[in-house]
Chain A
Amino acid sequence: MKKKRIAFFDFACCEGCQLSVLQLDEKLLDLLDHVEVAAWREVMTGESDQYDVAFCEGSITRETDIHRIQNIRQTADIVVSLGSCASIGCHNALKNRWPTKKALEIVYGEQAKHFDSIPARPITAVVDVDYQVLGCPVSLTEFEAVFKCILTGQAYDPPNEPVCVECKRNDYLCVFEKGQICLGPVTRCGCNAICTAFGEPCHGCRGLLDQPNLEAAATVLTADHLHKIMDAVAHQYQLTREEVLDKFSLYNNWPELTFEEDDTHDT
């Protein structure tokens, strides 16, 4: 069988997911035995525009990004959103809580006019993707699993279980016991509870769980549902809505907390 040609592309992000993939070390070499690398800017010089599988990290934040990702989608048989920026919007979507013009002014001041920007969104919001790898940065176990699924032609569904499940399987102490607020109960697992392993609460980097109602196959929560969860958390731990919003908004801004241009938003 002809080897698949793979390529890595980056959009708005820290490129930490690509870097994490390199931390697979020797295992990466074993995995790469099954493929040919067509483009991978962080690793090698030169690139080819002939590829079958495109691993794309980062968020879409400019009109030009939209054209670029659509072009990649047309070229590749398989598109993978690599990491939470590409899959759920992640930190990039924090700016969506301000009108785009205002956000540009805050960051660039008078130079703002030179920049082109649109509300940040994950790659998954612009093109259909075939596989998602979540996490900030990606979980290497999940990357490996997805990579093998691609090679063997299998589908991969990100787990729809909360981080609590992995915490318990590892016999970690529940961080609520230490009086900390943890997003584990509403966050998708697959990270093997890496933060709670080190005594940190979960910050929700792998995104929120699917709606419990499976009739609705949508992978994104409605604003109503998110606000309900936030209110429940606020009530439970006697926090204000703003305090809970702060915790949720680190990673989970798209699309529920995205500013609507017509809305009156006091910031």
Chain B
Amino acid sequence: MLRQTPRQTPLFDDHRAAGARLTDFAGWAMPLHYGSQLEEHHAVRRHAGMFDVSHMLAIDVVGTDAEAYLRRLLANDVARLAAAGRALYSCLLDPHGGVLDDVIAYRLDASAPPARFRVVVNAGRADADLDWMQRQATGFALELHPRRDLAMIALQGPAARALADGLWPELAPALAGLARFGALEADAMLVARTGYTGEDGYEIMLPGATAPMLWQRLRDAGVRPCGLGARDTLRLEAGMNLYGQDMDANVTPAECGLSWTVAFTPGRDFIGRAALESKPPNRQQLGLVLLDRGVLRAHQRVLCAQGEGETTSGGFAPTLNGSIALARLPLGVVPGDTVRVQVRDKSLAARVVRPPFVRHGKVLV
């Protein structure tokens, strides 16, 4: 197979200088960790950490039909975004109701034409999504602008917002009023109160050329650089899905725990709606907490009274000091049940729970 040189984000030199162990993720050279994944994980739960997530792609949707287009494209309903600076999480579905990607959609301009939205997609799906979005745009008056010029830094942890206030005193009053899934546009920067860790914080989009300066200022303020390893254990504890692992085009939102993100607004014909309404889910996603000693991993068999299931993500959960998993299980399994997981040559007991496992530093299961 032809191996292409991994792409580099604007922060690549900073990662290398900081001694990051780099890994190829969706064709990008990204930090896996900077020494200890566990310490990075704990830094985010207890204080503040930051992640380079510039490999994700922001796609601006601009034009008079932008809202109508996104109401057709996304399973969640951007009409719910009452004002500029509001965002929502959504699945991008195919006509069969399968999940093509999960995205965050921001309304950037409320009513002043042309309407402007931003959709942030996963790195591994960026090319396919853009192609899909172009094809669905036929007949709509709008333009799609992939924003590879932007870098993205996720600043997360209980101290994250206070640290940002110190960095940007002029923005502090506006940031203080930012609700969850709110976003503030300031010059070329977009600061959104979103994240993928289960902690409070911001995701910051800014021109790539200015990203190293912000990264350095955050380091100086005591924010710990964190790699994709900690990002994965944090999101797993937070019960958040990873595209390509916990969901893909073979599952519907209801089969991967995302029913709450689908808006069956009367009269709105979004892509995949007819399929979702015609076939009820036959599996469900729940969490597992391992009761025996060991570590759960993805793609292990789960034996339940109602039949067989499979873990989709699993690992060591540093905040719980134990092992957890997300699993696709037969209908009828409920939180509190005990199931068996096949871990190599052993059958281990696990308790079924409803994710999240951890939120705002506290263990919930």
Partners in one complex: no
* Contacts from A to B (Cβ < 8 Å): none
